[in-house]
Amino acid sequence: MSNNHGDPAETERLLGFGPERKKTRRELCAVLFTAVLIVSAVIGIVSIWLSLSHADSYEKRNVILMISDGFGPASETFARNYKQHVDKLDYNYFTSLDEILVGSSRTRSSDSLVTDSAAGATAFACALKTYNGAIGVNPEKVPCGTVLESAKHFGFATGLVVTSRITHATPATFSAHVISRDMESDIATQQIGDYPLGRQVDLMIGGGRCFFLPNSTSESCRVDERDLVKESKERGFNYFSSRKEFDNLEPGKDKYDICNTYHMSYEIDRDSSQEPSLKEMSEKALKFLEYETADSDKGFFLMIEGSRIVKKYVDEHPGTVMISVSDHETGGLSLARQDSGNPEYLWYPEPVSLVKNSSYILSKELSKYWNNDREDYIKDIVRDGLGIDDVEDHDLSWLNQPRSQLEYEYYLANITNYKARLGWATHGHSSVDVNLYAYGQGSEALRGNHENIEIGDFIVEYLNLDLDYITEKLIRHVIKYTFHQATDSTHFYKRDHHHCNHK
């Protein structure tokens, strides 16, 4: 939609240009374990909460949108082959995802053939193409109504479940409107309801607590002194931050938000006594949303992001549809690595099955240990973390030199990559069509190859939403503040001047 409302430059000023920060490690690093960790989570969740009556009925409708961040076709093949090897399954084994594969999704953004998570998720949320870095705004940097906001307007319950920061690009696009994904302080402010539409997300579960705490707090990433935990409680939402509190939650008491300080742990590193799994968080969210809509003719919209990635539920709830799709592929994964000579046509799952920790966790430990017995410590890290007993001399020599944590992380991952004969074309995103999975009422409409915005179109049609109404409501607010030259620092388009100092 064109920006025909007010002065574009002034509108952009109100929206605010956040500082450019280096992309997070999550965005830049396509380590070996991405495919295994995301897919294992997806397979676990998909097998829990879905199925469908294909009748053209109009009973209560629910949409569960699962966005498997960075998950490409090669990653699914990786996971299937790995599971076949570990569990000694037949060659013709079908995963839960194989059974609901309906087509593919194209992933380009409006300004690049390679999309980032912000533009990729905005395509799902607003059903339009936009530029890389955009959070719920169109290419002219004007807010666009999202499927979550429209669902809330029409009486649906809404939820976000992620293992990333809740303020990270993908969840943010459904629940906020800023011109840069880096503006996470502003995103958090909008998510608790401090913007024109008020609180739109009934349930948020994920990481990112640091953006809800005042700047003077040691764990804070905020640019100001606002205490969004306190403000959220004043708006009727409870905040919880421990595994025990999570386990004790029951529907019917209050509405809740949970956030780890930063991202939640990779599944391979997760301490189950400290953090719930993505599967557990998704089950809890479904339980709450079902309770909230029990006496309503409206259902719910739930977005689940498996960024670190449901059938029984649909079988029991006709009118529910589950969609699982990636925003983009990461890493350019290839299941074979040919360095030189004649083709070998090999890749080995065995070295992957020995890994006990992510290279991210191992690199953190390696970065902070510089005692005289460092060589022995390196050997212990490689043995206990990667399952490799004999460290090559050149590996030991390289790891024994001062490096950045990211360099250690890449190198440790590549030790396993080389042994498994896995190749990576890039440490960033790539431009490939990603697999599209769907299960439930109306899911046949998603068969074939689709632009990513068509997934948003499907949700709009399925729930009978009106994104234009939400968009116009947001735009009227921008115009109002443009002509009145608002200076209120609490306004949801306020400028974000600072970097997040939390690494």
Catalytic site residues?
117
Question: Which ranges in 154-303 belong to alpha helices (H)?
Answer: 169-175, 184-191, 228-234, 243-247, 278-292
Is 395 part of any known ligand binding site?
no
Based on the number of CB atoms within 10 Å of its own CB, is 22 exposed (0-12), middle (13-18) or buried (19 or more)?
Answer: exposed
Is 499 part of any known ligand binding site?
no
The helix (run of H) or strand (run of E) holding residue 165 is: strand 157-165
**CA separation for the pair 332, 147 (Å, rounded):** 30
**CA separation for the pair 326, 109 (Å, rounded):** 14
In three-state secondary structure terms, 77 is helix
List all residues 6 or more positions away from 99 whose beta carbon is below 8 Å from its beta carbon. none
Residue type, 205: I
Is 328 part of any known ligand binding site?
no
Q: Output phi, psi for 23, to 5 deg.
A: -60, 150
Residue type, 145: G
Residue found by looking up tokens 């905020």 in the block? 222
Backbone conformation region of residue 127, classed left if phi is above 0, alpha if psi is from -120 to 50, else beta = left
**CA separation for the pair 74, 255 (Å, rounded):** 39
**CA separation for the pair 181, 282 (Å, rounded):** 25
Is the CB of residue 182 less than 8 Å from the CB of residue 18?
Answer: yes
Is the CB of residue 465 less than 8 Å from the CB of residue 150?
Answer: yes
Is 305 part of any known ligand binding site?
yes
Is 170 part of any known ligand binding site?
yes
Annotated binding residues for Mg(2+): 69, 168, 170, 305
Task: Name the binding residues for Zn(2+).
Answer: 69, 429
Known binding residues are 69, 168, 170, 305, 429
